Amino acid sequence: MGKQRATSQKRQREAAKEAKATAKRERRHQAKAEAEAPDGHEPLEVAPAVVLERLAEAHRQFRDDEITFEEYDLTKADLLRQLRVD
């Protein structure tokens, strides 16, 4: 019979994975709440130049290892949703 692995390590990995997923959901929820207007119905409109500046700043932060790829990816996705395409 083979050697049994410690189940505590598996539980720790699963707990860490769940904590990471929870944190990601909270960041998305917070970003969505910040993008909504004070009355909670209509998103605030941001000038495309401002959105592109914020995107460039996020890219710089990722390049300089100030934020993780996951944070950069979430920020980028939120900013790209704010851009209007006519």
In the numeric block, which tokens belong to residue 48?
């495309």
State the total domains in the chain: 2
Residues 37 and 10 in one domain: yes
Judgement on whether residues 52 and 81 belong to the same structural domain of the protein: yes
pLDDT reading at 35 higher than 80: no
Rounded to 5 degrees, φ, ψ at 72 are -60, -45
Q: Say whether pLDDT at 23 is over 70.
A: yes
Percent of residues, the chain, with pLDDT higher than 70: 80
8 A C-beta contact, residue 35 and residue 82: yes
Phi, psi of 59, rounded to the nearest 5 degrees: -65, -40
Residue 29 carries which side chain, given as an amino acid letter? H
pLDDT tens per residue, range 51-76: 999 999 999 999 999 999 999 999 99
* Rg over CA atoms, the chain: 19
Range of the domain at 79: 45-86
